[in-house]
Amino acid sequence: MRTRNGRLTTAIISSMLDENESINLEYKLIIHEQPRNVKCIGPTEKERKPIEPSPIIQLCVFNENHEPYVQCLYNSNFFIIASLLEENKTLNSQGQYDYKVLTMDKYKSKKMLLGTTVASMQRLKDLDGSHGSFFIFYDLSVPIEGTFRLKYSLYEMKQGKTIYRTCAISEPFTVFSYKNFPGYKESSALAKYFAEQGVKIKIKKDVNVPRVRYSKYSNDIWLNDGGKILSREEMMFKEKLSEIVKQKGSLDVSIEKSGGMENNMINNNNNSNNDNNN
């Protein structure tokens, strides 16, 4: 199944006969957000870092004619349970990978997947304007380094029974130590759109865009320019200086903190005009 960005993963499909209806329904899970680089959690709860981007899974249901069957998405109670899998590159006799769910026994009773491992279904608007059924895991964390996968198991609560429907397995991701963690990437357009709809999902902005910080004691704005904090006045001066440099080609100006910025600007403007007159 080809998806919007070409990188989404289609889940294992499970067709099963509904207990109360003579309709053979087909359940599909589509992973919209794959876990990327993950930071290993620290020794305390405050240092626990969630998996980012937050996994986003969409549920699609089809009838016998492979047409969307949206009735059950409005009337049914679906939920997904996430579990951590050990990355396995060995094929079994059927040519498939056998993934093992990591348990506490293997790591001396240490819980392998922390956070909220159960996600309920949410009706949200997709980027194309259509409504869909999505599951979002906000705060999953992994306590050890290594390469793993996430397994998403879909269940439905119906007439007091819990019925397994299908599952999906994520792409492999690496959990790094604090020292070796390469950093986060900017959040996707879908995650940002969900956040606009009120979903409590963490959004990472582009690291190349200056961050705006408001002063606690005044209305002054401070900008983080390449790791150096500049005031609004300094930032405006820097922009004007850049324009002069573009006009002249090169400029050697030292910026003084005590009122020397405007003088330097005036002097350099005069020098530029003199050069043009000559």
Condensed to tens digits (0 to 9), the pLDDT of residues 24-34 reads 899 999 999 99
Please report the pLDDT score of residue 155 as a whole number: 96
Residue position matching structure tokens 């793993």: 148
Summarize the confidence of residues 138-166 as an average pLDDT.
Answer: 91
1 within a domain of the structure (yes/no): no
- Same domain as 181, residue 218: no
Q: How far apart are CA 84 and CA 218, in angstroms?
A: 48
Residue recorded with tokens 């705006």: 212
Q: In the predicted model, what is the mean pLDDT of residues 234-255? A: 63
Of 196, 220, 243, which closes a domain? 196
- pLDDT surpasses 80 at 160: yes
Sheet holding 211-214, edge to edge: 211-214, 221-225, 228-231
- In angstroms, what CA-CA distances link 227 with 91, 123, 223, 224, 257? 47, 40, 9, 6, 18
Which residue, chain included where needed, has tokens 């606690």?
A: 216
81-107 average pLDDT score: 63
180 and 228 share one domain: no
- Within 8 A by CB and 6+ apart from 42, the residues are 48, 49, 178
Examine the domain organization and report whether 43 and 106 are in the same domain. yes
Contacts of residue 74, defined as CB under 8 A and 6 or more positions apart, other chains included, come to none
Asked whether residue 192 falls in the same domain as residue 222, the answer is no
Long-range contacts of 7-13 (CB under 8 A, 24+ apart): 7/34, 8/32, 9/34, 9/168, 9/169, 9/170, 9/171, 10/168, 11/152, 11/166, 11/167, 11/168, 11/169, 12/166, 12/167, 12/168, 12/169, 13/166
What is the arithmetic mean of pLDDT over 185-212? Answer: 73
pLDDT of residue 166: 95
- In this prediction, residue 14 has a pLDDT band, given cuts at 50, 70 and 90, of very low
Domain interval for residue 184: 9-196
Lowest pLDDT segment from 52-66, 100-114, 126-140: 100-114
What's CA 14's distance to the chain center, in Å? 27
More confident site: 171 or 200: 171
| Predicted TM-score (pTM) above 0.75 | no
Write out the DSSP string of 118-176.
EEE-EEEE-TTS-EEEEEE----B-SS-EEEEEEEEEEEEETTEEEEEEEEEPPPEEEE
Asked, for residue 4, whether it belongs to a domain, the answer is: no
Radius of gyration from C-alpha coordinates of the chain: 27
Is the pLDDT reported for residue 87 higher than 50? yes
Among 171, 196, 221, the domain-final residue is: 196
Tokens representing residue 230 in the block: 């500049």
Determine, yes or no, domain membership for 3. no
Q: Are residues 273 and 135 in the same domain?
A: no
Number of folded domains that form the chain: 2
> In terms of domains, do 169 and 221 share one?
no
Q: Indicate if 105 and 167 belong to the same structural domain.
A: yes
Distance, CA of 29 to CA of 168 (rounded, Å): 6
Domain boundary among 161, 196, 231: 196
User: Do 31 and 115 lie in a common domain?
Assistant: yes
Residue 174 has pLDDT above 70, yes or no: yes
Peptide bond into 53 cis (omega under 30): yes
